Amino acid sequence: MRSTFHGLETARRGLATQQTALQTTGHNIANANTVGYSRQRVNFTQTEPYPAPSMNRPQIPGQLGTGVEASSIQRVREGYLDLQYRGENSKLGDWESRNQGLGRLEDLLNEPSEYGLSKTLDRFWQSLQDLANSPENNGARSSVRQRGLEVSNTFNYLTDSIKKFHTDTEAEEKAAIDTINYLASQINKLNEEIGNVEPHGYLPNDLYDQRDVLIDQLSKLTEVQITVEKSQGNSLAMAEGKYTIELAGVNGSKHKLVDGVDKTFNNPIDNTFQSNSGKLRGLSEAKVTYTDMLTDIQKISSDFVTSFNALHTQGKGLKDSSNTVPSGIEFFKIDANGRMDVTDSIKDSIDGLNNIAASNDGFPGDGTWAMSLSTSLSKPKSEYEKIIASLGVRAQEANRMVYNTDVLLQSVEKNRQSISGVSLDEEMTNMIQFQHAYNASARTITAVDEMLDRIINNMGIVGR
DSSP string, 402-448: HHHHHHHHHHHHHHHHHHHS--HHHHHHHHHHHHHHHHHHHHHHHHH
pLDDT attached to residue 462: 59
pLDDT attached to residue 371: 87
Mean pLDDT of 369-394: 89
- Binned at pLDDT 50, 70 and 90, residue 7 comes out as confident
| pLDDT digits 0-9 by tens, 129-142 | 999 999 889 899 99
- Largest interatomic CA distance in the chain: 153
- pLDDT of 88 higher than 70: yes
Q: Minimal CA–CA distance to 208: which of 81, 40, 410, 84? A: 40
Cβ neighbours of 264 (radius 10 Å): 13
Element spanning 26, H or E: helix 6-30
Mean pLDDT of 403-410: 97
- pLDDT of 368 higher than 80: yes
| pLDDT digits 0-9 by tens, 167-204 | 999 999 999 999 999 999 999 999 999 999 999 999 99
The distance in angstroms from the start CA to the end CA of the chain is: 30
Q: Minimal CA–CA distance to 162: which of 25, 289, 31? A: 289
What's the mean pLDDT when you consider all of the chain?
Answer: 92
- pLDDT of 463 higher than 70: no
Are 215 and 187 a contacting pair, CB within 8 Å?
yes
Q: Minimal CA–CA distance to 257: which of 272, 271, 268? A: 268
Q: Where are the alpha helices (DSSP H) in 110-137?
A: 117-133
Mean pLDDT of 344-351: 84
* CA dist 350 → 127, 320, 332, 358 (Å): 20, 10, 18, 17
| pLDDT digits 0-9 by tens, 263-292 | 888 889 999 999 999 999 999 999 999 999
- In this structure, the dihedral spanned by the alpha carbons of residues 268, 273, 276 and 281, taken in order and rounded to 10 degrees, is 100
Measured CA to CA, the distance from residue 160 to residue 167 in angstroms comes to: 11
- pLDDT of 1 higher than 70: no
Are 13 and 5 a contacting pair, CB within 8 Å?
no
- In this structure, the dihedral spanned by the alpha carbons of residues 111, 113, 116 and 120, taken in order and rounded to 10 degrees, is 130
- pLDDT of 380 higher than 70: yes
- pLDDT of 78 higher than 80: yes
- Binned at pLDDT 50, 70 and 90, residue 464 comes out as low
| pLDDT digits 0-9 by tens, 110-128 | 888 888 899 999 999 999 9
| pLDDT digits 0-9 by tens, 207-256 | 999 999 999 999 999 999 999 999 999 999 999 999 999 999 998 999 99
Measured CA to CA, the distance from residue 14 to residue 68 in angstroms comes to: 6
Helix/strand/coil for 224: strand
- Binned at pLDDT 50, 70 and 90, residue 34 comes out as very high
- pLDDT of 455 higher than 90: no
pLDDT attached to residue 391: 94
Could you write out the DSSP letters of every residue in 327-340? BS--SEEE-TT--E
E-strand ranges in 25-175 read 40-46, 68-75
Mean pLDDT of 432-445: 96
Q: Minimal CA–CA distance to 301: which of 116, 167, 159? A: 159
Are 247 and 183 a contacting pair, CB within 8 Å?
no
How is the chain split among helix, strand and coil, in percent rounded to 5? 60, 10, 30
Cβ neighbours of 397 (radius 10 Å): 14
At what angle are helices 378-420 and 278-312 packed, to 10 degrees? Answer: 170
pLDDT attached to residue 283: 97
Percent pLDDT > 70 in the chain is 99
**Alpha carbon 421 to chain centroid, angstroms:** 23
Are 43 and 21 a contacting pair, CB within 8 Å?
no
> What pTM value is reported for the model?
0.87
Cβ neighbours of 436 (radius 10 Å): 11
Residues 6+ apart with CB under 8 A from 46: 65, 66, 67, 68
Measured CA to CA, the distance from residue 222 to residue 220 in angstroms comes to: 6
- pLDDT of 382 higher than 80: yes
